[in-house]
Amino acid sequence: MAEYENILVEVEDGVATVTVNRPKALNALNRKTMEELAAVFNRVREDASITGVILTGAGEKAFVAGADIGEIHELNGKMGLAFAEFGQGVLNLIENCGKPVIACVNGFALGGGCEISMACTFRYATVKAKFGQPEVNLGVIPGYGGTQRLARLVGEGRAMEMCLSGNHINADEAHRIGLVNTLFDDAEAMLAAARDTLKLIAKKGPEAIRLCIEALHQGLSLPLADGLALEADRFAQACATEDMKEGTKAFLEKRKPEFKGK
């Protein structure tokens, strides 16, 4: 993979570890970093050898502490719309790259950091992690999907409280309300568990994983009847794959399947 200014990328055994690498700025998301994240996840989407992604931040203080406040200060209304739409596009790409992405949060995940974690398939965190949408403290609101994804993950009431108060919540509270899937004592254990999870998922049918992610993400915004129709359509697509024939045949023959992603 190409080298980047603000992003580190390592690929091992099909797992790409993508690290936002601006520790002196607490890994804040400036325009350059967002452009590089878009480039990385476009590659992830197209590269069949990559089966999953760990997204994390450099250093011990922050996952991502937010957007670059200096850039926000220069915005007007028209520029603000373009700023939000660009950021939402990058996070939509992360969410819909077709492969599982685990956010590994150690330290602050605030503003854009909380938002980027919520665009991931699920979230692991250490006990030192803190989450928040503090944008109202700056006279703005979340712009990278925070008002929408947070409410879908933890419910409208808790999302309202976080977005309107601007307060941080600790790792235990984030886990209790469902924002975080699993807590770990330290970053090393968290990253090891994320790799193990992604290696486990990689043993499943790649097309089934992609279609399952699609059904879950897209179905959340639909009425139940439409969501069920979406699920049936993706189930039918899975049934038309070579992997489905291989998976069911392997089960009947009591052996491990050899999926090809077709």
Q: Which residues are catalytic?
A: 115, 135
Query: What is the three-state SS of 89-118?
Result: HHHHHHHCCCCCEEEEECCEEECHHHHHHH
Rounded to whole angstroms, how far apart are CA atoms 255 and 249?
9
Rounded to whole angstroms, how far apart are CA atoms 150 and 3?
32
Interior/surface letters 5-37, b for 16+ CB within 10 angstroms, e for the rest = ebbebebeeebbbbbbbbeebbbbbbeebbbbb
* Residues 54 and 98: beta-carbon distance below 8 Å: no
Rounded to whole angstroms, how far apart are CA atoms 120 and 68?
21
Would you give the end-to-end CA distance of the chain in angstroms? Answer: 24
Q: Give the bridge partners for 55, in sequence order.
A: 18, 103
